[in-house]
Amino acid sequence: MMSSPKSSPMEIYVHIPFCIKKCDYCDFLSGPSGPKEQEAYVKALLGEINAVTEGTGRSVSSIFIGGGTPSVLDENFIGDILKTIRTKFSIQADAEITIEVNPGTADDRKLQAYRKYGINRLSIGLQSPDDRELKILGRIHNYDQFLRTYHSARKAGFDNINIDLMSAIPDQTYEGWIRNLRTAAELKPEHISAYSLIIEEGTPFAMRYLNLPDEDTEYEMYEATARILREYGFEQYEISNYAQKDRACRHNIGYWTRQDYLGFGLGAASLYGKERFANTADRKKYQENSTRPELIREKEPTLTTEDEMAEFMFLGLRMIRGIAKADFSDAFGCPIEEIYGNVLEKYEAMGLLREENGRIFLSREGIHVSNSVMSEFLL
Ligand code: SF4
**Distance in angstroms (rounded) separating the CA atoms of residues 303 and 267:** 20
Q: What is the pairing mode between strands 59-67 and 10-16? A: parallel
Using 50, 70 and 90 to split pLDDT, how confident is the model at 203? very high
Percent of all residues in the chain with a pLDDT value above 70, rounded to a whole number: 98
Which residues make Cβ contacts (< 8 Å) with residue 197, sequence separation at least 6? 25, 166, 167, 168, 169, 170, 205, 212
Take atom 5 of ligand 1 and give the residue whose Cα is closest: 22
Distance between Cα 38 and ligand 1 center (Å): 16
Using 50, 70 and 90 to split pLDDT, how confident is the model at 6? low
Which residue of 26, 72, 100 sits with most ligand 1 atoms within 8 Å of its CB, as the best mutation to test the pocket?
Answer: 26
pTM for the full model?
Answer: 0.96
Q: Residue 343 above 70 pLDDT? A: yes
**What is the mean pLDDT of the segment spanning 289-310?**
96
Read off the pLDDT of residues 277-297 as tens digits, 9 standing for 90 and up.
Answer: 999 999 999 999 999 999 999
Using 50, 70 and 90 to split pLDDT, how confident is the model at 57? confident
Q: Residue 317 above 70 pLDDT? A: yes
Using 50, 70 and 90 to split pLDDT, how confident is the model at 21? very high
Read off the pLDDT of residues 62-97 as tens digits, 9 standing for 90 and up.
Answer: 999 999 999 999 999 999 999 999 999 999 999 999
**Distance in angstroms (rounded) separating the CA atoms of residues 106 and 153:** 9
Task: Write the CA distances from 117 to 12, 114, 154, 210, 231, integer angstroms.
Answer: 16, 5, 16, 43, 35
**Distance in angstroms (rounded) separating the CA atoms of residues 221 and 170:** 14
Helices 215-231 & 174-186, crossing angle to 10 degrees?
A: 20
| Ligand 1 pocket, residues with Cβ under 6 angstroms | 19, 22-23, 26, 28, 30, 67-69, 102, 125
Q: What is the pairing mode between strands 275-279 and 269-272? A: antiparallel
SS3 content of the chain, % helix, strand, coil (to 5): 40, 20, 35
**Distance in angstroms (rounded) separating the CA atoms of residues 157 and 164:** 20
Q: Residue 2 above 60 pLDDT? A: no
Helices 75-88 & 108-116, crossing angle to 10 degrees?
A: 10
Which residue of 20, 23, 29, 100 sits with most ligand 1 atoms within 8 Å of its CB, as the best mutation to test the pocket?
Answer: 23
Confidence (pLDDT) at 56:
86
Read off the pLDDT of residues 172-185 as tens digits, 9 standing for 90 and up.
Answer: 999 999 999 999 99
Distance between Cα 30 and ligand 1 center (Å): 7
Task: Write the CA distances from 118 to 83, 86, 146, integer angstroms.
Answer: 10, 11, 23
For residues 337 and 6, the model is more confident at: 337
Take atom 6 of ligand 1 and give the residue whose Cα is closest: 23
Partner residues linked to 194 by β-bridges: 165
Q: Residue 5 above 80 pLDDT? A: no
Distance between Cα 189 and ligand 1 center (Å): 21
Q: Residue 7 above 90 pLDDT? A: no
**Distance in angstroms (rounded) separating the CA atoms of residues 156 and 75:** 14
Which residue of 21, 22, 127, 205 sits with most ligand 1 atoms within 8 Å of its CB, as the best mutation to test the pocket?
Answer: 22
Q: Residue 320 above 60 pLDDT? A: yes
Are residues 98 and 123 in contact, defined by beta-carbon separation less than 8 angstroms?
Answer: yes
Distance of CA 132 to the CA centre of its chain: 26
Torsion region of 168: left, alpha or beta (phi above 0 gives left; psi -120 to 50 gives alpha): left
Take atom 2 of ligand 1 and give the residue whose Cα is closest: 68
* Closest atom, ligand 1, to C-alpha of 25: 7
Take atom 8 of ligand 1 and give the residue whose Cα is closest: 26
Distance between Cα 289 and ligand 1 center (Å): 26
**Distance in angstroms (rounded) separating the CA atoms of residues 340 and 314:** 12
Using 50, 70 and 90 to split pLDDT, how confident is the model at 379? confident
Distance of CA 169 to the CA centre of its chain: 20
**Distance in angstroms (rounded) separating the CA atoms of residues 85 and 11:** 11
**Distance in angstroms (rounded) separating the CA atoms of residues 311 and 303:** 10
Read off the pLDDT of residues 219-257 as tens digits, 9 standing for 90 and up.
Answer: 999 999 999 999 999 999 999 999 999 999 999 999 999
